[in-house]
Amino acid sequence: MLPVTKSSIGIVQYPCKLGQRKDGVDQTPDRLLESISAIVQKESKNVRIYDSHKIRNLNRVQDDSHNEKHVFEANLALRELVFRSLHENDKTLNIGGDHSMGLGTLSAFLTAYPKDSLVIWIDAHADLNTRASSPSGNFHGMPLSFILGIDKDNAFPMTVHLNHQHLAYIGIRDLDPFEIETIAKLNIRTVTPAQLTTDSEFNVREFVKNFIGEGKTVHISWDVDSTDPSTEITSTGTTADGGIKCSHVKELIKAVTEHNTLVSLDVTELNLSLGANEEELRRSLDLTLDVIKFFIDC
């Protein structure tokens, strides 16, 4: 484990929507940063902001025909920043941008903590497609196939892959055939929205205790589309009916930090250019900030 010298939080921005997207998800880091800065200042936390001009420039010149090359380049730059932040701060918040960021953030996390490290992926989707299996060709649906070593590319070399036994999915419900097959084959731990919302036998703390144990280092990747669009976050590109509550995300964060070290959180796919009306936009933003504040405070 890397030495933690400062009680501080690092904020890494991924202002990116690489992968055939025309929407405004790349604007989210800047939109969120102002509110987050206010939170950390109010609580007098030390904060370091990591902004990659390289990623911004790549995003600006993106061209779908070079989509793949740009995703890898952007995530190499992201990996470097996240790795630095993990080294320099006791907590790192990675704000996207789309979920292709998982490539850079998880890769940095695994390089910094190659042993005794686990990942919780909170999402409506499994993001486990390979380039060959993906029906859409969107990289934001593929990061975990690279992180687990199922798909590979020399343009994004990885020295450490995630062991599939160290991955748990929370909230997944909209899956492609290859993903269903792979999750079953590898027996990847999964918590469905129904378990969290309606199963009185299911206990979050018990789940975390069984899955993680004690004294481990944990990364959580939170895609806001994991939440139920009817009551929670609607400002996101690919909503799926059903879903969990933001309070479940906080409950997970709390349970993880009781006996383990949560070093980093991704917040991804919030898109404030989407939303039926002002009220939905406001709710999406407020709920996201509430989870971020909880992570900063825990």
Q: Which residues lie near Mn ion (CB under 5 A)? A: 99, 123, 127, 223
By C-beta, is 73 or 266 nearer to Mn ion?
A: 266
Task: Return the closest-CA partner of residue 170 out of 147, 192, 154.
Answer: 192
- Coil, strand or helix at 181: helix
C-alpha–C-alpha distance, residues 221 and 94, integer Å: 9
Q: For residue 122, give the H/E element and its range.
A: strand 117-122
Cβ of residue 231: shortest distance to Mn ion, in angstroms? 20
Check if the beta carbon of residue 280 is closer than 8 Å to that of residue 234.
yes
The residues facing 48 across adjacent strands are 10
Q: Which residues contact 14 (CB under 8 A, 6 or more apart)?
A: 29, 52, 55, 74, 78, 94, 95, 96, 97, 101, 104, 105, 268
By C-beta, is 99 or 164 nearer to Mn ion?
A: 99
Helix ranges, 153-267 (H): 177-186, 193-197, 204-211, 246-259
Q: What's the distance, Cα to Cα, between the start and end of the chain in Å? A: 20
Cβ of residue 296: shortest distance to Mn ion, in angstroms? 22
By C-beta, is 81 or 103 nearer to Mn ion?
A: 103
Cβ of residue 98: shortest distance to Mn ion, in angstroms? 8
Cβ of residue 185: shortest distance to Mn ion, in angstroms? 21
By C-beta, is 113 or 121 nearer to Mn ion?
A: 121
Cβ of residue 127: shortest distance to Mn ion, in angstroms? 5
Cβ of residue 169: shortest distance to Mn ion, in angstroms? 10
By C-beta, is 99 or 245 nearer to Mn ion?
A: 99
By C-beta, is 99 or 166 nearer to Mn ion?
A: 99
Whether the ω angle into residue 97 lies within 30 degrees of 0, i.e. cis, is yes
Check if the beta carbon of residue 277 is closer than 8 Å to that of residue 236.
no
Q: What is the DSSP letter of 139?
A: G
C-alpha–C-alpha distance, residues 141 and 164, integer Å: 17
By C-beta, is 89 or 100 nearer to Mn ion?
A: 100
